[in-house]
């Protein structure tokens, strides 16, 4: 699993990178341009970015916007309080907030929370319900969902070829593991195997050429 870390302070970037590397592979960069290049070419389970890069709020916002387009989870790191972060980033909202100064357990707990989404998805990804099973429920023409297991709140979504529907706003953010086929969400195309993240309030238009099978894991508070 991979985390993109965006921090312009070299010593802090190295220290945070060393901590996060206990849990995942870390791609650490210090500028907006480096972050944008990484987001264009790689997939990450989590993007962690300082809100101020080189003293500029717009650069942190730029990372958040680019990560949202590519459906990555985003955590903002900031010395400002939650109200100030919300004001600066409005109308965008990060998926998590890490306030400086923070403790080791704070950063490790935050990262682990997002990595766990993909672990849970991978754990069930090899055992989807049969295509003709009775527990599939129609979401829209060509789109169906089913529970992954009685004791979990994971959900399977199956799309038939050429399906086109609006992914209704989930009650919470969720990790999505695309197991088979392809998806296009608001113009961004993804092919299996691929891990995506739908932020709280997201309602993308979803299409598929070949059909798709995905498992969705809610981000718990």
3-state secondary structure the chain: CEEEEECCCHHHHHHHHHHHCCCCEEEEECCHHHHHHHHHHCCCCEEEEECCECCEHHHHHHHHHHHHHCCCCEEEEECCCHHHHHHHHCCCCCCEEEECCCCHHHHHHHHHHHHHHHHHHHHHCCCCCCCCCCCCEEEECCEEEEECCCCCCCEEEEECCCCEEECCCCCCCEEEEEEEEEEEECCEEEECCEEEEECCCCCCEEECCCCEEEEEEECCC
What's the mean pLDDT when you consider all of the chain?
92
**HSE toward the beta carbon, residue 155, CA cutoff 13 A:** 17
Mean pLDDT of 111-118: 96
Sign of CA dihedral 13, 18, 24, 28: positive
Q: Which of 15-19, 149-153, 158-162, 217-221 has the lowest mean pLDDT?
A: 149-153
Q: Do 86 and 146 belong together in one domain?
A: no
Q: Based on the structure, what is the number of domains in the chain? A: 2
The pTM for the full model equals 0.92
Q: Do 105 and 156 belong together in one domain?
A: no
Domain membership flag for residue 69: yes
Q: Is residue 211 pLDDT above 70, yes or no? A: yes
User: Please, what is the end-to-end C-alpha distance for the chain in angstroms?
Assistant: 21
Domain residue limits at 173: 137-218
Q: Do 170 and 110 belong together in one domain?
A: no
Domain CATH code at residue 50:
3.40.50.2300
Q: Do 33 and 86 belong together in one domain?
A: yes
Summarize pLDDT for 130-155 with one digit per residue, the tens.
888 788 999 999 999 998 666 678 99
Residue with more model confidence, 168 or 19: 19
Q: Is residue 109 pLDDT above 80, yes or no? A: yes
- Where a domain ends, among 68, 98, 122? 122
Q: Do 167 and 99 belong together in one domain?
A: no
Domain CATH code at residue 189:
2.60.120.10
Q: Do 159 and 95 belong together in one domain?
A: no
Q: Do 95 and 185 belong together in one domain?
A: no
Rounded-to-integer distance, Cα 54 and Cα 209, Å: 42
Q: Is residue 57 pLDDT above 70, yes or no? A: no
Q: Do 16 and 100 belong together in one domain?
A: yes
Domain membership flag for residue 128: no
Per cent of the chain over pLDDT 70 is 96
Residue with more model confidence, 201 or 156: 156
Summarize pLDDT for 186-199 with one digit per residue, the tens.
989 999 999 999 99
């Amino acid at each position: 699993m991979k985390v993109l870390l965006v921090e312009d302070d070299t010593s802090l970037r190295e220290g945070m990178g060393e901590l996060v590397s206990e849990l995942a592979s870390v791609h650490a960069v210090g500028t907006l341009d480096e972050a944008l290049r990484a987001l264009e070419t790689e997939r990450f389970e989590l993007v962690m970015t300082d809100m101020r890069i080189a003293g500029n709020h717009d650069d942190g916002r730029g990372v958040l916007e680019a990560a949202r387009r590519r459906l990555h989870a985003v955590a903002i790191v900031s010395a400002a309080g939650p109200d100030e972060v919300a004001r600066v980033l409005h109308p965008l909202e990060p998926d998590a907030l890490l306030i400086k100064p923070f403790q080791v357990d704070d950063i490790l707990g935050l990262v682990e929370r997002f990595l766990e989404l993909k672990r849970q998805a991978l754990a069930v990804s090899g055992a989807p319900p049969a295509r003709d099973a009775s527990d599939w429920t129609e979401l829209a023409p060509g789109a169906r969902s089913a529970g992954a297991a009685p004791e979990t709140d994971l959900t399977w979504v199956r799309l038939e070829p050429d399906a086109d529907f609006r992914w209704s706003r989930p009650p919470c953010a969720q990790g999505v593991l695309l197991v088979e086929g392809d998806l296009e969400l608001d113009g961004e195309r993804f092919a299996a195997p691929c891990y995506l993240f739908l932020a709280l309030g997201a309602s993308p238009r979803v299409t598929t050429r070949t059909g798709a099978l995905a498992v969705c894991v809610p981000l718990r508070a």
